[in-house]
Amino acid sequence: MRTIWAPIILIVLFATPMIQLVFASETPGEYVNRAQEIWNLFFRMMTIAFVVGGVIAGTIVWQVWRFRESNPKAKPTPYEDKGDL
């Protein structure tokens, strides 16, 4: 299921700004500043990348804090409780 949604999300993220760029000029005499559109797309994608990176970093910090050895609620798993090998 995850493999179906990932390409669709990427296509939407990249295709939507491009479609907007194609239909940007309303009259035939207007020009589109492509450099400005590229920078707008870059900053939009960088914002998304920073948000995703923040969520991933926060999840890693939560995992480390939740499953630390000094946590009073932590108990050994069946694999750790077997004693000496």
Q: Which residues contact 45 (CB under 8 A, 6 or more apart)?
A: 13
Domains of the chain, by residue range, sit at: 2-66
Q: Would you say the pTM of this structure is higher than 0.75?
A: no
Task: Return the pLDDT at 17.
Answer: 75
Write the pLDDT tens digit of every residue in 43-80: 999 999 999 999 999 999 998 888 888 887 777 777 77
Measured CA to CA in angstroms, residue 49 lies from 38, 60, 63, 75 at distances of 16, 16, 21, 36
